[in-house]
A and B are shown apart, each in its own frame.
Chain A
Amino acid sequence: MKGRRRLRLLIALAACALALLPGAALRAQTPPALALNPSLDYTDTRDVSGVPSITAVELGRLLGATRFWRADLRKLELRLAAHRLVLTVDNPFVLVDDATLLLPAPVVLKGGEMLVPAALVEAMADAPGWPRLVHDPRRGVVLVVPPGGVVGTPQFRHGEGVTRVTFPADREGGVSIAGRARSRFRLRFDGVFTGNLPDSLPGTSLVRGVRAIPAVQGCAFEMTVAPEAEGFRVVRERAGQVTIEFRRQRVAGDEGFAPAGPAGPRAISLVVIDPGHGGVDVGAHAEGLQEKALTLELARLLRDELAARMRVRVLLTRDDDRTLSAEQRAEFANRVRADLMLSLHFDAFEGTRAVGATAYCPPATAPAGEPGGAVPDANWTMRPWRDVPFTHAVQSRALAEALLSALELRGQGPTRLRETLPYPLVGVDAPGVMVECATLTSGADRARITRSDGLRIIASTLADGIEAYQRNE
């Protein structure tokens, strides 16, 4: 009797677990909500008889102005240095310095609060001396325009074998490619996005879909590019706009897309992390920071991060300050049969404005070298030690893309990718990437690294990238 009851209990528990699993999976797949960067200064709008409005108090706060209330005249004056803005209750006219602006609805007093139509911020966009505000009706906010400016609604134009996507952007230099895969082509802008995106695109377009994705700084977009597209380029031909051209046939000057590997999640059970340099090899150094110490600390943090998030075994090529040759590192990764290898480094270049992160991966085009081949009367093939990384070039590139995309979206950029075999990966028989996580000679990067949680954030970001690579995003 007891055995039957236990069996029923087990069956009931299993049924509950099965019922919960799809929900859990669905929750895991749900993309995070597009939220405003917490560093932005903004206020929510309210609906007043169909007109989006903000309170005069919030308007004064965003403008950094001092408020003066004249109860007898029912007027509120906002002063900022020599500038003044006058709002009158039940009046659609607003005085901004010497100009009078007409709003689509009057300023109203409701519940003891003065409510101003959000259209005011657009009307006074060109008013000199005032901080620039912008109304984002999609999110229902009015916000202070950040130094990166504003990115507006993109326009899609389709021609013969080419699709042009043009973004109005205050800072046309503030755009970077955060992912080159056709299935997840990612762009990041320094500015805040206040426009709208189309729900669908015509079948003739080389861009099949576009959506906004979260980014720590500025805004980011993810596009689905048609498989027949061969190249793309970023064009900054006019001030105030950035155009991305996608071409069916690649022409000189175009960049190529990341090669696509097999679909579906990748099986990763063992990750080897290689803290660069060590022992007598200090690596790069600047302002008291030593590359060998930073890479070791970062490697330990990344090991803990991966172990906590993923069901993988993580091994370090060195867990102390010792000298290792590149051959020893590669031999270690091959002996433990690593599923991927990540060689951690920090860059330096004195006397330049070099900044940000760089990933190196072996190029998909194998170099001219000694050919390997099948060994007679044996069921194995022989490959030159040095050329082994080239057999993993496509997966290595995908790993590099995933890591750089994560770094770019978490504000650890600018990022760049170099497709050339890095020395620490020579002889490694696994997908691998060498990542220069930051540039020690850059003051901005040093400040980012040396803050109390600086290396932990980089470790978390790299773990994001490895997870994305495993999910095959």
Chain B
Amino acid sequence: MRRVFLGLLFFAVLAWVAYQWSRVSVPRVPQSISADSIAAGMKTVRLFFVATGADSLLVEARELPQPQNLHATAAALVAELDRGPREGGIAALPAGTSVLNVYSDARGLLVVDLSRAFLQGFRGGSTAEYMAVASLVRTLGANMPEVQRVQIVCGGAPLVTLGGHVPLDRPLEIAEWVDERTF
């Protein structure tokens, strides 16, 4: 009986030493390093969400794999906006909004074709509408320096307004949505 007990104790000590050795010998690789070296480069993007008082926008920095083209950039930014904030605040875009297509011209106009969820998922009044547009326009403007104006369309069709308060029939000048007078 004593021999059995000593044998079990010996194997337990052996297993614990082996476990500790394995932890020391295989150091953890930071996730960002592996992602950066294996796939594409990482890029810090600035996302705009709504403050809890709904009277201003909050900016949140986030690491994203470097998109390969214009469509991928806009799609990734909108996807991150749809995921919502991690550091406080509230998502402004209607849930489920995604990018269907993106077009641009040489004069800094970006046409973003959003999924129908942008229109169908909208709830609220003018502040919700205003913040949804501001969040989208400022996020695109902050991360795509070549863009000066944003035209929002929805499901491939022109969109006159989202909830009846903010006109979307014309391209939105990013500079006007950054102006402090509008917040």
Shortest CB-to-CB span from B114 to chain A, Å, is 18
Shortest CB-to-CB span from A189 to chain B, Å, is 19
Q: Which of A79-87, A143-151, A219-227, A420-428 contacts B (4 or more CB under 8 A)?
A: A420-428
Additional A-B contact list (17), CB under 8 Å, known A276-B164, A346-B125, A349-B54? A283-B125, A284-B124, A291-B125, A326-B164, A347-B124, A347-B125, A347-B127, A351-B90, A352-B50, A353-B54, A354-B53, A369-B170, A386-B167, A418-B181, A418-B183, A440-B125, A441-B124
**Within 8 Å of chain B (Cβ to Cβ): is A367?**
yes
In Å, the complex CA distance between A367 and B131 comes to 20
| Majority secondary structure of chain A interface residues (helix, strand, loop or mixed) | loop
**Within 8 Å of chain A (Cβ to Cβ): is B176?**
yes
List A contacts of B173 (CB < 8 A).
367-368
**Chain B residues proximal to chain A, CB less than 8 Å:** 50, 52-55, 90, 123-128, 130-131, 160-161, 164-167, 169-170, 173, 176, 179-183
List B contacts of A368 (CB < 8 A).
173
A439 B165 Cβ-Cβ under 8 A: no
**Within 8 Å of chain B (Cβ to Cβ): is A350?**
yes
A-B contact count (CB 8 A): 99
A363 B90 Cβ-Cβ under 8 A: no
In Å, the complex CA distance between A368 and B109 comes to 13
B181 A419 Cβ-Cβ under 8 A: yes
Q: Given A353-B54, A354-B53, A386-B170, A420 and B176 touching (CB < 8 A)?
A: yes
**Within 8 Å of chain B (Cβ to Cβ): is A390?**
no
Q: Which of A351, A420, A423 contacts B164 (CB 8 A)?
A: A423
List A contacts of B127 (CB < 8 A).
347-349, 354, 358, 436, 439
List A contacts of B183 (CB < 8 A).
418
Shortest CB-to-CB span from A70 to chain B, Å, is 54
In Å, the complex CA distance between A159 and B124 comes to 46
22 pairs, CB–CB < 8 Å, chain A vs chain B: A253-B180, A284-B124, A345-B126, A346-B125, A349-B124, A352-B53, A352-B54, A352-B90, A353-B52, A353-B53, A353-B54, A354-B53, A355-B53, A360-B165, A368-B173, A369-B170, A420-B182, A422-B165, A423-B164, A423-B166, A434-B165, A436-B127
A419 B165 Cβ-Cβ under 8 A: no
A354 B55 Cβ-Cβ under 8 A: yes
Shortest CB-to-CB span from B103 to chain A, Å, is 19
List B contacts of A353 (CB < 8 A).
52-54
**Within 8 Å of chain B (Cβ to Cβ): is A281?**
yes
In Å, the complex CA distance between A386 and B176 comes to 17
Nearest chain-B residue to A277 (Cβ)? B164
**Within 8 Å of chain B (Cβ to Cβ): is A416?**
yes
List B contacts of A326 (CB < 8 A).
161, 164
Nearest chain-A residue to B162 (Cβ)? A423
